[in-house]
Structure 1
Amino acid sequence: MAEEALSNLRVIELAQGIAGPYCGKLFADLGAEVIKVEPPEGDRARRLGPFPGDEPHPEKSGLFLHLNTGKKSVTLDVGVASGQAIVKKLLEQADVLIESDGRSPARGGEWGLGYDDLKGAFPQLVYVSITPFGASGPYKDYRGNSLTAMAMSTIMYNTGEPDREPLSTGGTPGDYIAGIQAWVGALAALAYREREGRARLPDGQGQQVDVSMAEAVACADEYNAAMYAFQGAIRRRYYSRHIFGYPMDIMPCKDGHIVLIPGVQGFPQPGLTQEGAVSGMALLLEKPELDQHPLFISGQERMVRWRELDDLLTPWLMEHTAREIVETAQALRMPFAPVPTVKDLLEDEHLGARGFFRRIEHPEAGELPYAGPPFRMTETPPRIQRAPLLGEHNEETLSALGYSEEEQTILREREVT
């Protein structure tokens, strides 16, 4: 098998939580050597779970196992001079440094691990910084998380019922969006270094990649800013729907819920639908005569009288399973989808056929299913390998840096590692 696409890179990860570690995971799954520098007590994700049987264990956190596949773990107190010296030794052969979320010591600068502190000694280094609001501006020292970013992006303002408070989606999408953008930014900086630095400056041309979680999420605001710029209009909350068409919503069915999206084939299109043709929704409901109904003919009527349309659709939906509805709708070229539970997702035949979930053995957590790579590559396929034990690679890494057994013992006794 060919080497992975990024097997020539070394990444030092000074990051905890989700955003930075997810960025590091994307490097590791594509073959980069990612050395995760954890405090002696471990990344705080090790304490977040979920845990088997709800019993906390630093090696069995589902969150940590997911975010840290394929990495090496080195424990290090970077708040002391000897710890900082080891980090700098690691950076001598590193391509990328990832620090994130405002809690890692690199952000403070007082320990000499900020970008301005390091760029002179390590001109080849791509320094990736992920913070709630970026490294500059009035909010640069504000704390924040995914929920903060979702709120600041206008996505929350547009989500929820019109007469109720704004809502956020479940989970922490802001962290993952920021992690992906940080990875893309780092790859762009590495491509620039390869193109410009190697040709003109043999020592390399690194740079800082400054990722604001709030800005990363705001880039996904669809057309809110453009609507305000063009029309002076502020988009209001309209349930979970797209404001320019209905139905495009989650609806109940016999055994759960489905996403109902008729698409261009779903309803009659005056002047466009061939004479005698029956729309996809009328065929789905097995009532061709519905094409003469005002709610089928007029998109405007559907928007205004959406409750009536729900009453028209719901009885049929409640008589059929999600699988029956989705398969029939897809056959009619309408992009319906089920709303699966995690159990459904793990048992999904399509994902199974593509081998998306991988079962990986871990010495403490045992064999578990892991989400596979977000994309496929024909020549250099990503590989998902287990997450490291806390400090598993201390000896290997310190020995490679030239530290003797005696010196490593002293570092352990002084609780530096």
Structure 2
Amino acid sequence: MNAANSTLQARAIAAPLAGVRVIEWSHSMPAAFCARVLRDLGAQVLKLEPPGTGDALRRIGPFAPDAPYGNDAALFAYLNHGKESATLDPSHPQGAALFRRLIETADLLITSDATGLAELQLDGDTLRRIQPALVTLAVTSWATRAESGTPSAFTDFTLTHHAGYAFHQARPVHAPDQQAPVACADREVALATGVAAANAALWGLLEAQMNGHGRSIECAELDVIAHLLIEPVADYGRGERSFSRLREELQGTEVAGGLIWLLPCKDGFVMISPREQHQWERWVELLGNPTWSRDETLCGERTARNENWMTLQDEMSKWTREHTRADVFERAQAARVACFPVSGARDLLENAQLNARGFFDRWQGAGNTPLSMPGLPFSMRTTSGAELPRAREVVSPVLGSANRAVFEARLGLSAEEVETLRRHGVV
């Protein structure tokens, strides 16, 4: 291979954001995950943390199972894989000056506190004078500008309720007065917002690359959650004004109403969806064409199956209870009937498709037990099939480990100056 071809191949498999410099000055999970996604795409991400204590996310579990408590946070490792960590207090005059110098070399500034920038006299106009092509991205919970005032505290739980998503996803239940709507599981809101913010950052970087001018972007968790309410908003738009969380057995529901069934197996559950007539016929053939399947009034057409879904669920369960999830899944797929096993965490870690796609990364941490962690939610390859090169071993940045590289090599300070700044709590 000649030199020209080697150069072309190297460019073809280079990370898309190689050469892009990102500063993350935040204390939130959505902002951290946004920067993590950009790092996976090749950007150089510098995470600025408070001197001494570091990011509060370092003290939030889960932690490595066999590491000293609080010594190695798995969540922090996942959110900050591959980043550089430097400590800096911009509220100190010397820290503010160093912060400005770092901004001069950055392409993107990610923050979770836009008001904090204003307190440092770093409004949009000032930032543009420092670095005209700088893209600033504020990843907030509520938004900087609030017509009805900004609440003093936010959690995923309160945000999902305020945005209406908790109420939407909570139906149907047997006793709405006793069974309150629940919030999204785990950290769904934070991670979804991080992906949305990363997408917004890419658009901002693209525009800055094209015209040399940066923009200020804000991505609020409230907006991201509200954006999930596509169906309820559409229903309201066509005139539906009433909404009930009561499970009406005879009418069925979206999940179990002649279109989809949740059926028990020897080792768990499967979800099946023989919604089309030809799928239904293949499904009951798979079940051995039992006597009940030939009753036209019970299940001859979809309308009958909608009305009799509970009876049909009982009848079908007699067969599925005698088989494993894998057996039902494989047989249904072979019969071209939509069917998937209901998976738990262990099932996902052992999922052949996810492992074949290299979805999981590995993290050793301070303990002796390596852990699997989700990688990118997408796969990137060149037209020739070369995969995007990225580190598959998760590396959690040690607090302040990049201080010398940042303040001495990048900004030109001497080792003595950095040590003096450290003693005064600036870095």
Q: TM-score, normalised by structure 1?
A: 0.86
**2:33 is equivalent to residue 22 of structure 1:** yes
**2:178 is equivalent to residue 176 of structure 1:** no
Aligned residue among 282, 286, 289 for 2:288: 286
Q: Does the 8 A contact of 1:224 with 1:235 survive in 2?
A: no
Q: CA deviation at 1:359?
A: 2.7
Give deviations 1:360-394, integer Å, cap 9, x for gaps: 45567774323222111113615135121111111
Q: Does the 8 A contact of 2:40 with 2:376 survive in 1?
A: yes
**2:141 is equivalent to residue 156 of structure 1:** no
Provide the C-alpha distance between the structure 1 equivalents of 2:31 and 2:294, rounded to a whole number of angstroms.
Answer: 52
Which region of structure 1 is more displaced relative to structure 2, 338-347 or 365-374? 365-374
Give the aligned partner of residue 97 of structure 2: 85
Q: Does the 8 A contact of 2:64 with 2:365 survive in 1?
A: no
Give the aligned partner of residue 4 of structure 2: none
Matches within 5 A, 1:381-400: 381-384=388-391, 385-399=394-408, 400=410
Runs (5+) with no aligned partner, structure 2: 1-9
Give the aligned partner of residue 137 of structure 1: 146
Paired residues in the alignment total 397
Provide the C-alpha distance between the structure 2 equivalents of 1:126 and 1:378, rounded to a whole number of angstroms.
Answer: 27
Q: TM-score, normalised by structure 2?
A: 0.84
Runs (5+) with no aligned partner, structure 1: 198-203
Provide the C-alpha distance between the structure 1 equivalents of 2:308 and 2:80, rounded to a whole number of angstroms.
Answer: 49
Give the aligned partner of residue 253 of structure 1: 265
Q: CA deviation at 1:414?
A: 1.0
Q: CA deviation at 1:126?
A: 1.1
Provide the C-alpha distance between the structure 1 equivalents of 2:345 and 2:114, rounded to a whole number of angstroms.
Answer: 36
Aligned residue among 406, 411, 415 for 2:421: 411
Give deviations 1:32-66, integer Å, cap 9, x for gaps: 00001111211111111111347665551110111
Q: Does the 8 A contact of 1:105 with 1:113 survive in 2?
A: no
What secondary structure is seen at the aligned counterpart in 2 of 1:337? strand
Flag the 1:281–1:73 CA change in 2: closer, same or farther, 3 A.
same
Give the aligned partner of residue 3 of structure 1: 14
2:217 is aligned with what amino acid?
A: V
Provide the C-alpha distance between the structure 1 equivalents of 2:196 and 2:377, rounded to a whole number of angstroms.
Answer: 14
Q: Does the 8 A contact of 1:112 with 1:118 survive in 2?
A: no
Aligned residue among 98, 110, 128 for 2:110: 98
Provide the C-alpha distance between the structure 1 equivalents of 2:160 and 2:320, rounded to a whole number of angstroms.
Answer: 33
What secondary structure is seen at the aligned counterpart in 2 of 1:157? helix
Flag the 1:364–1:53 CA change in 2: closer, same or farther, 3 A.
closer
Matches within 5 A, 1:261-300: 261-264=273-276, 268=277, 279-287=281-289, 290=293, 292-300=295-303
What secondary structure is seen at the aligned counterpart in 2 of 1:223? helix
1:313 is aligned with what amino acid?
A: M
Q: CA deviation at 1:27?
A: 0.5
Flag the 1:107–1:261 CA change in 2: closer, same or farther, 3 A.
farther
Q: Does the 8 A contact of 1:280 with 1:332 survive in 2?
A: yes
Q: CA deviation at 1:301?
A: 4.1
Provide the C-alpha distance between the structure 1 equivalents of 2:19 and 2:294, rounded to a whole number of angstroms.
Answer: 60
Flag the 1:77–1:297 CA change in 2: closer, same or farther, 3 A.
farther
Which region of structure 1 is more displaced relative to structure 2, 126-135 or 136-145? 136-145
Q: Does the 8 A contact of 2:66 with 2:367 survive in 1?
A: no
Q: CA deviation at 1:322?
A: 1.0
**2:344 is equivalent to residue 337 of structure 1:** no
Q: CA deviation at 1:358?
A: 2.6
Give the aligned partner of residue 7 of structure 2: none
CA RMSD in angstroms, aligned pairs only? 2.7
1:7 is aligned with what amino acid?
A: A
Aligned residue among 356, 359, 376 for 1:356: 359
Q: Does the 8 A contact of 1:134 with 1:140 survive in 2?
A: no
Give the aligned partner of residue 201 of structure 1: none
Provide the C-alpha distance between the structure 2 equivalents of 1:188 and 1:71, rounded to a whole number of angstroms.
Answer: 21
2:299 is aligned with what amino acid?
A: F
Q: Does the 8 A contact of 1:358 with 1:372 survive in 2?
A: yes
Flag the 1:146–1:138 CA change in 2: closer, same or farther, 3 A.
same
Flag the 1:106–1:31 CA change in 2: closer, same or farther, 3 A.
farther
2:167 is aligned with what amino acid?
A: Y
Q: CA deviation at 1:129?
A: 0.9
What secondary structure is seen at the aligned counterpart in 2 of 1:84? helix
What secondary structure is seen at the aligned counterpart in 2 of 1:27? helix
Provide the C-alpha distance between the structure 1 equivalents of 2:116 and 2:295, rounded to a whole number of angstroms.
Answer: 64
**2:309 is equivalent to residue 306 of structure 1:** yes
Flag the 1:193–1:316 CA change in 2: closer, same or farther, 3 A.
same
Give the aligned partner of residue 324 of structure 1: 327
Q: Does the 8 A contact of 1:14 with 1:106 survive in 2?
A: no
Give deviations 1:189-230, integer Å, cap 9, x for gaps: 1112222x1xxxxxx211111112111122122311111111
Q: CA deviation at 1:292?
A: 3.7
Provide the C-alpha distance between the structure 2 equivalents of 1:63 and 1:350, rounded to a whole number of angstroms.
Answer: 25
Flag the 1:242–1:15 CA change in 2: closer, same or farther, 3 A.
farther
Flag the 1:334–1:90 CA change in 2: closer, same or farther, 3 A.
farther
Q: CA deviation at 1:157?
A: 1.1
Q: CA deviation at 1:343?
A: 1.9
Q: CA deviation at 1:88?
A: 1.4
Flag the 1:149–1:357 CA change in 2: closer, same or farther, 3 A.
same
Matches within 5 A, 1:157-236: 157-158=167-168, 159-162=170-173, 163-164=175-176, 165-195=180-210, 197=211, 204-236=212-244
What secondary structure is seen at the aligned counterpart in 1 of 2:32? helix
Flag the 1:413–1:166 CA change in 2: closer, same or farther, 3 A.
same
Flag the 1:261–1:416 CA change in 2: closer, same or farther, 3 A.
farther
Q: Does the 8 A contact of 2:257 with 2:307 survive in 1?
A: no
What secondary structure is seen at the aligned counterpart in 2 of 1:327? helix
Q: Does the 8 A contact of 1:70 with 1:387 survive in 2?
A: yes
Provide the C-alpha distance between the structure 1 equivalents of 2:119 and 2:102, rounded to a whole number of angstroms.
Answer: 19
Q: CA deviation at 1:245?
A: 4.8
Give deviations 1:220-265, integer Å, cap 9, x for gaps: 223111111112334443679637954435443210122233343x
Flag the 1:26–1:244 CA change in 2: closer, same or farther, 3 A.
same
